[in-house]
Amino acid sequence: MGVGNTGSSLNDFEEGNLFVSDDAGASWKKALDGPHKYEFGDQGSLLVAVKDSKKDDVSEVSYSLDHGLNWKTAALPDSLKLKPEIITTTQDSTSLKFILVGSSGGDNYHVVALDFGGLQEKTCEDNDMEDWSARVDKDGKAICVMGHKQTYRRRKKDADCFLKKEFKDPVPKTEDCECSDADFECDYNFIRKDGECEKAGPIVNQGAYTVLEGTNYSIQVDVMNTRPSNPMGVMFTSNSNGTYFVENLEHTNRNEMGNVDFEKISGIQGIFLVNTVKNWEDVEKHGGSKKEVVTQITFDDGRTFHDIKAGDDRVHLHSVTHLDNVGRVFSSPAPGLVMGVGN
């Protein structure tokens, strides 16, 4: 139950009416005119409402035994008229007894006990109950929600009985559903067209960071720090147990697939080759600038880096960002023997 209104937006509370839903909020109907204070009794078998007035002019309460479809009234005792302050019952809403607190004449307060136990002498039996599904199709049959059909046992709205039971968490009967096309959706940046998922928009790059080949005593990670279309990264090396990292090298060369120009020399601790971007400022500023890639080597696990040379000439080698290179590019099982293609 709730107080509100129909229309394009919510009006003031005083302009609202009492609405009721008995299908878990899927549909609603107006139950009573004007705003009301309300409570549930006997686990929903009984609905009780009293007009929410700012004056001490309320002389009756309304109640429904059929989920708010029909309402009856009961007069307050001794021709009492009051301004309702609160109506309450047990916390689990299983009782048939309620307390109404109201005021009259300014400072005079009244506490009225409401007992609806005499309306129905019969206690509900199994044939007074129904299987109710939280969501149904147009034919009233249960439909799948999150892969399951769930049904609950509850009192029929027109049953002439009360449950008169202590509250227990409702335990649904669950039936697993077979997957159908309706249970599948297109991935991010794809839309469904004629039953097929078609690409719509750029696919988000997955190369935010790359775990590089580590050692027995450290982990090395390259983190992308520029635009995905022409990426560069920063390389970090961890302590011996991986609890913190320090920066080794900036502007490492990487591609859109997350591959990083990095290779540890096979079988030898602390030596690896890495490519960096020499003109990183232009690449960061203009995005489309061609990278000027240079190759460096470290012999102390990234503490210091050195140029590699053939005689007096500096050498630069193509690494894993080159489309034809996969896996281990430079080193071999023979200790110390390294080859590469470059200039």
- Those residues whose C-beta lies under 8 Å from the C-beta of residue 239, and which sit 6 or more positions away, are 218, 245
The pLDDT of residue 100: 98
Please check whether residue 317 is in contact with residue 342, taking contact to mean a CB–CB distance below 8 angstroms: yes
Please check whether residue 295 is in contact with residue 316, taking contact to mean a CB–CB distance below 8 angstroms: yes
Amino acid letter for position 135: R
Q: Mean pLDDT by 10-residue block, N- to C-terminus, for the chain (343 residues)?
A: 96 96 92 97 96 96 96 96 96 95 92 93 92 85 84 93 88 85 83 88 68 82 80 89 88 88 84 91 83 91 89 90 70 79 90
| 243 backbone dihedrals φ, ψ, rounded to 5° | -90, -20
Amino acid letter for position 19: F
The pLDDT of residue 257: 83
The pLDDT of residue 29: 96
Please check whether residue 21 is in contact with residue 54, taking contact to mean a CB–CB distance below 8 angstroms: no
Beta-carbon count within 10 A of 121 CB: 9
The pLDDT of residue 326: 62
> Which of 125, 27, 114, 28 shows the shortest CA–CA distance to 63?
114
> Which of 30, 40, 27, 36 shows the shortest CA–CA distance to 6?
30
The pLDDT of residue 319: 87
- State the residue for tokens 């067209």: 193
Please give the Cα distance from 334 to 317 (Å, whole number). 20
Q: Which helix (H) or strand (E) holds 293?
A: strand 293-298
The pLDDT of residue 140: 81
Residue 194 — left, alpha, or beta (φ > 0 → left; ψ -120 to 50 → alpha)?
left
Please give the Cα distance from 52 to 85 (Å, whole number). 8
Question: Which parts of 177-287 fold into alpha helices (H)?
Answer: 280-286
The pLDDT of residue 155: 94
